[in-house]
Amino acid sequence: MKGIKKDNSEALFETAKTYFPGGVNSPVRAFKSVGGGPLFMKKGDGCMIWDEDGNEFIDFCCSWGPLILGHNNPKVYENVVSALGNGASFGAPTVLENELASLILSKNPFIDKIRFVSSGTEAVMSALRLARGYTGKTKVLKFEGCYHGHVDSMLVKAGSGLATFGTSSSAGVPEEYANETLVLPLNNIEALRICIRENKDVLACAIIEPIPANNGLLLQDKSFLTELRELCTENNILLFFDEVISGFRVGFNGAAGYLGIAPDIITYGKIIGGGLPVGAYGARAEIMAHVSPDGPVYQAGTLSGNPVAMAAGIAVLTECAKPGFYEKQKEKTETFVNRINAHAKNKGYNFEMITVGSIFWLSFDGKKRIQRADQIDGNMDGFKNLFLELLDRGVYIGPSGYEVGFISAAHTPEKLDTAARAFCEALDSIF
């Protein structure tokens, strides 16, 4: 990082380390995988962000995905200020909850009812409890390389076999919790068939990111997801799509709509809150009837349905619902990605940007499609070097090679042109 000032960020980070573990409130923010300390951000507007040292960047992190309209969107701002003027929280129902639910459900063929919570992790935790309560079964099937928040039973990695109980991947997670989860490799139909055949009587649900985007961008064969749907139906197992990232990102109805595959339970987060903390889970009416106070599956939250967050979500999803929104996002993302990929190919670089919708990921394996976590080259030196070169050129991406990047409606053709040139120059510097 030779080209930017960091004095203020460095001082702030030293202070932060006296307050927070590692100086941060979420681990990836610490910049450990890219070296040096984090940049402390001060302001965002459109597709631009500014840090405490006055450095200016084109932002492709977008708060890790929620900001599909960009920073400081006028309509989101107006809605938030208006709601805040009436009160930040009541612990009682408001009309804004109804409005956001109606906006989502009126266009969603997969779920009949929804419950708002305060994060994607909380949504997953609550939906897993619902799946167990509805089916009367206890085990969960997940897939290696999919991230479902920091729920204890989801912080697991694969064991020694293809269809084995998971093992804890975090201290503080008892093996008894991990043993509630079976872990399979992605995109392996045969392993899936064996696992379900042997465990159908104990499996409450199979949870998957239909577009895995938290450990690289692991695009699955549709045939794998279709088979998963069929096997779940045949064996009375609920199919659970975790759409915290893909929901409202690849289409208004998320990956379920994009792929044309109907899950039984869906979780949302990120975009649904418009930059404020919101999550949600939903299902058909029969399943949601088991949620308290209608049914025996307890779940509650002091700030669930917070009016300010609801107002932000309404503003964002109203824009997302407009005709042509997602087509435009996809088109400009592909134009951006294709330009950089063409440059890398012409130069013979072992590099590929993989994309779906307005999501992209940087692969230093030279593969056009990676489907499993074990196919990713664990050497992240290429990413680290590119990240630092991009910072020097005024481009900010998430500080982890396993994370994806996002393009927002605020990324103009001019800014994308500038960013594409910066990417090409950065690639020339590191190869």
Catalytic residue list: 147, 242, 270
Q: Which two tokens stand for residue 172?
A: 């503080």
Rg (CA), the chain: 21
- Name the residue type at position 27: P
Distances (CA, A) of 323 to 18, 105, 250, 328: 49, 17, 14, 10
Residue with tokens 């072992």: 350
Closest to 239 measured CA to CA, from 131, 162, 335? 131
Supply the DSSP symbol for 375: G
User: Is there a contact between 362 and 386 (Cβ–Cβ < 8 Å)?
Assistant: yes
Position of tokens 């000032």? 5
Query: What backbone phi and psi angles, to 5 degrees, belong to 322?
Result: -70, 145
Q: What is the largest CA-CA distance in the chain?
A: 61
Indicate the pairing of strand 405-406 with strand 167-168.
unpaired
CB 272 within 8 A of CB 282: no
Backbone angles phi, psi at 373, to 5 degrees: -60, -35
Q: Which residues contact 43 (CB under 8 A, 6 or more apart)?
A: 49, 50
The residue type of 94 is T
Q: How far is CA 11 from CA 1, 14, 16, 58, 238, in A?
A: 16, 5, 9, 24, 50
Both structure tokens of 296: 């025996």
Closest by CA to 194, choosing from 165, 140, 231, 156, is: 231
Length of the chain: 431
Cis previous bond, 293, omega within 30: yes
